[in-house]
Amino acid sequence: MRRLRFLTGGESHGPRLTAVLEGLPAGLELDEVFINSWLKRRQHGFGRGGRQRIETDEVVVTGGLRNGRTIGGPLVLELENRDWKNWSEIMDPWAIDEEQALSRAVTRPRPGHADYSGGASTDQLEDMRNVLERASARETGARVMAGAVCAQLLARYGIAQRSAVLQLGPHVVSDGPPTWDGLAGVDFDSPLVTPHPDREGDLVEAVRAARTDGDTMGGVVGGVVRGLPPGLGSYAHWDRKLDGRIVQALVSIHSVKAAAVGAGIEVAGCLGSAAHDAIRVVDGRLRRDSNRAGGLEGGVTNGEDLVARAYFKPISTLRKGLPSVDLTTGEAGATAWERSDVTAIGAAPVIVESMLALVLADEMLVKLGGDAIIDTDAAWAALCRRLEPWWRPGAR
């Protein structure tokens, strides 16, 4: 992050998760209901494990906010783990019940999870619970709280997002890069949060079949951001190029193994004449015939919709187990299963939106600055004036 600082802490079965977001201008109004609505979206999706039924996530703000407005200090957002009461004896920060902890020790690393690699890195191979507790995607709850805050900053400047599941396992619901209009039909309460809720019956059956087989599924999620001004990011420095930052943020999401900007995957197989977006003047503004670039050229926004896709591998905890080795005995054995998702893809759109919002809010604040929101607003007005006549906020 360049202007904001963002850190999360806490374990999956610890008392709570914490997100610290520092660098927001003071005076920004935030809506608690909105943050909780995003947390609810993260708990949603057909094929989730039992945990989503025992947790109802709600944000608790413990710093940086007063009377609904940021006050200049780090914004501290917390999420209680209601399951903590079942784990307090083996997850106690000071003294654990050794016997109980042993009964929940993880000694056979799951292929695809962080158990072995994380245990090797931190010398915790005897009980890899210490690794999985932190590697768990419960941490995405902290990202979503912070992402919902950043989305509210973006909304102040007319920047909005849409997202959806485009593919579940091999079942493609929407081919190619998503578009703003193509995501208009998403119902966040539908079982699998696709752009075509009426077509989700087959997907639900596919998840049921995977569950019956003790197997798991991944998929593809698309996100589109509308209203970004041209000029966010950098063409000059490898680590500031916004396409690179977006892909990093998306691949940092648990189980995401690839990410694409615009039609990045498809254009690799095209001739140049079919790959780029012709520039024209329409109603006095620069417009494109297409948006294969996904709103980013040279690592900088070009004023078109920012389009991204994230590719999620299947969940690595399978009820039927996968071949592994017990690292305490060296004996071969199948991995253990404890309450786990068959697929988490229904939760993924809001996580993708959160990561996009974090990076884009950061870039907006790099561009606009401001310790007080009135200064940020003034910089926004000045930027909009400078970008005339080729770009105007909100006009499409």
Ligand X SMILES: Cc1cc2nc3c(=O)[nH]c(=O)nc-3n(C[C@H](O)[C@H](O)[C@H](O)COP(=O)(O)O)c2cc1C
- Return residues touching ligand X (CB under 6 A): 49, 112-114, 135-137, 140, 253-255, 315-317, 340-341, 344, 347-348, 351
- Shortest reach from residue 64's CB to ligand X, in Å: 26
**What are the structure tokens assigned to 390, written together?**
């080729």
- Shortest reach from residue 378's CB to ligand X, in Å: 39
Residue 170 carries which DSSP code?
T
User: Cβ–Cβ contacts within 10 Å for residue 328, how many?
Assistant: 12
Q: What angle do CA 322, 48, 164 make, to 5 degrees?
A: 110
Residue 138 or 288 with smaller CB distance to ligand X: 138
- Shortest reach from residue 321's CB to ligand X, in Å: 12
Residue 77 or 348 with smaller CB distance to ligand X: 348
- Shortest reach from residue 98's CB to ligand X, in Å: 26
Burial class (CB in 10 A: 0-12, 13-18, 19+), 40: middle
Residue 137 or 293 with smaller CB distance to ligand X: 137
Q: Which residues pair with 18 in a beta bridge?
A: 9, 78
Amino acid, res. 9 = G
Residue 81 or 291 with smaller CB distance to ligand X: 81
Count CA atoms closer than 13 A to 83's CA, side-chain side: 19
Residue 233 or 346 with smaller CB distance to ligand X: 346
Lookup result for tokens 């197997």: 215
Q: Are 356 and 345 in contact (CB under 8 A)?
A: no
- Shortest reach from residue 132's CB to ligand X, in Å: 8
Q: Are 375 and 25 in contact (CB under 8 A)?
A: yes
- Shortest reach from residue 103's CB to ligand X, in Å: 20
**What are the structure tokens assigned to 304, written together?**
């078109």
Residue 30 or 145 with smaller CB distance to ligand X: 145
